[in-house]
Structure 1
């Protein structure tokens, strides 16, 4: 594959250099912000060598090349459109690209993007804690260690730490996204988890009631926010707004001393007196509503959420679910939404597998096989946009498989100890691996069968058409 030639052809098919506002790439895709997407020749882009699919989502036009290939295409593309890829400019380029993406999004997608930027960096910490919780569950189930043993006590400390300091992690990440000082954001999270405040974990079992303080004619309940999400998000947003406000009138020569002092003091009072309690009520309302739906109609809830999840993925709003899952995990101790998302993702792989087996297109076989396997690992964009959505009916088959699998994992009460990991990797944090495995098999089988029965209209790429015509011509001459 000639990567430089591919980059040159891409620029032309994307409407020219002047139509490309910004470009970056992730592990598998080019991510482009374009001035006018109507100038794109999407069909010819998908026919290019190495391209596994192309789609527009969340303010970006994304082209799937796959791991390794995308890096080699991006470098000549960046040179072609005048972007340097020097390491010193890389961070600024990504910041500029993110700003360009936000301007192209609608308000709902922009909100989802903000939540995604806040929670995605925190996911490794929660996944590690979830895997440790899974290990503790196995130790309990099979009697590998006594709950009073040193090993068990230490692992219990390691597994709970991420959730105890979750507001600090969120405070740091949220302040960075909201444009405030990240360390002040972490301090705000620390205030909301201070040892003076009673840890709400296990509050009902212990029967201990938090103390109250009288201040300015108000009762301040000394109850902490360990494991919560919404309260700290709202508080850090207020903190960033106050920090910017103070900087407008504090002289530069004393800014370093006065602005942080005013910001932390005012935010601390606001957090404990107003924003924190309000955020706690909102978080409990969201958690209670979802829990009620899950408890009273688990099979139906899984059926609906599992069937609709892939449609939500198309809008990009699914990124905001990390915040909801983290809130649920902190409040009830397990995540009952993640298994539904997991089977919905695997269903896309099942539908793609049916396409891979049945299709006559050589290029589609090259795309469908690897992208279906990626879906089994939780990476669904290649198979959704490169295969299933292109033919439409396989996408319907995947939705059917996700609905059936979602119903099964909710009826059997499969839950997870973390967020952000789906597909086969979710075995590491699943509380019931056996029923989760059965749910995956049911999902893949249902998606594969429905897709096979529905069928689809085959498309030939330009190169395949030319090859077919050449073979026909040779046959005619021989006759």
Structure 2
């Protein structure tokens, strides 16, 4: 197998040489390249390069799928060849005129939330571990009961499980300022102001244990613990306000005046206008999501499980991050995750069927690792590298996702966190649901594998 340096040279040559590269960046699985002339890209040559699991143009970018971990090393090797690497935000700026307005908006939403996801994943794992350690059966193994757990230990676990959601507006405002060209630390402070202890706690208000502050007789003001939209729009507008003043305030005064003016304007606007209005919008979105998830007879799982990967290939699936955050914050659990898991596991099952049925060595060497990637929660290599390429395996994967999503809904499965699925996602079900979660994954893989093996793939295709 070629080294990463050799692969980097082959990639540069296949995309038309360094002079054809406008900018280059990477995400979790893909090398994202803006090229000057798409006609100079030798697509067939790219597909033949070692470790490449698929490639396609999307939103003005040529995206080459290498998979989690590998893409970081290939990116480093490419930039070491002298190709100019730029921040992903700059590459997005180059592509901002590509795609529909909706696609551009969702991409931006994704840019804001992707950096936050790792801490939310960790929080979900902490919730899962706490659920495991506090189960009566587990405690009984050590001769303990629920009453035996020290109060200080429970308080310690609350620090681990609650902090990210308590200060979520600070994380969102920080990331939004970063994406829209503001100073991230100003965004962080603005987000912290939205959850200041001086304001009534949003969760206490929701439970009736506290009352909102009433300004001017008609504006209710509370903290925004766990809220997303108020912090997102505060960050978006705040970054624009900051750039406006940076251009007009004399350099000698900029350090003092600009942060002062931005924070003053934005906290007034956030607490008295953006917050109250967007909190209502947030509740509407949440209620709509709940209405979908509560469709009877497992219909929600069937619909979401079938269509999820269709949405993934359009590139607008980052909107799900917002929905899952809302579910965890409002309900304390995430019924969306097991359905998404079903759709992901099914695509892995379809790719595995292709790997086992084909007699072509290159297809095997591509399909086996991409199916493993799907079982670890990343479907792009399997979808773009194998299933979509041959067509029918992707459809069989959709069917498997719908069937297993239906089962997940019937059993009312609920995750303790978000953003990890299939094998890693097991950590979000370390409670009485573990067996059912495994069963849903087996059904997804089994249905997609069987349909693909019997009807979905022939080597001549």
Scaled by the length of structure 1, the TM-score of the pair is 0.86
Matching residue of 1:393: 392
Deviations, residues 99-157 of structure 1 (Å, cap 9, x unaligned): 33434444333222222221122112212221222223234432634366321222123
Matching residue of 2:121: 127
1:60 aligns with 2:61: yes
Deviations, residues 77-108 of structure 1 (Å, cap 9, x unaligned): 5466x525xxxxx6x55554343343444433
The higher radius of gyration belongs to 1
Partner Cα separation in structure 2 for residue 376 and residue 76 of structure 1: 27
Partner Cα separation in structure 1 for residue 276 and residue 404 of structure 2: 38
Uncovered stretches (5+) of structure 1, i.e. residues with no partner: 85-89, 461-479
1:433 aligns with 2:434: yes
1:382 aligns with 2:381: yes
Partner Cα separation in structure 2 for residue 166 and residue 138 of structure 1: 25
Matching residue of 2:166: 164
Partner Cα separation in structure 1 for residue 328 and residue 252 of structure 2: 45
Cα distance, 1:154–1:68 mapped onto 2, change above 3 Å: closer
Matching residue of 1:24: 25
Uncovered stretches (5+) of structure 2, i.e. residues with no partner: 140-145
* CA-CA distance at 1:27 after TM superposition: 5.9
* CA-CA distance at 1:227 after TM superposition: 0.8
1:450 aligns with 2:448: no
Partner Cα separation in structure 2 for residue 340 and residue 43 of structure 1: 35
Give the conservation status (yes or no) of the 8 Å contact 1:51–1:65: yes
Partner Cα separation in structure 2 for residue 446 and residue 12 of structure 1: 41
Partner Cα separation in structure 2 for residue 199 and residue 29 of structure 1: 41
Matching residue of 2:311: 312
Give the conservation status (yes or no) of the 8 Å contact 1:212–1:219: no
Aligned pairs for 1:223-372 within 5 A: 223-297=222-296, 299-372=298-371
Deviations, residues 35-73 of structure 1 (Å, cap 9, x unaligned): 343443323432344433222334322223456765665
Cα distance, 1:105–1:158 mapped onto 2, change above 3 Å: same
Partner Cα separation in structure 2 for residue 108 and residue 176 of structure 1: 21
Deviations, residues 406-465 of structure 1 (Å, cap 9, x unaligned): 1111221112222211121111123622211110011001111111222334259xxxxx
1:214 aligns with 2:215: yes
Matching residue of 1:179: 181
Q: Which moved more, 1:346-355 or 1:50-59?
A: 50-59
SS of residue in 1 equivalent to 2:318: helix
CA RMSD of superposed structures (Å): 2.5
Cα distance, 1:377–1:58 mapped onto 2, change above 3 Å: farther
1:155 aligns with 2:157: yes
Cα distance, 1:67–1:274 mapped onto 2, change above 3 Å: closer
Aligned residues: 450
* CA-CA distance at 1:190 after TM superposition: 1.4
Matching residue of 1:477: none
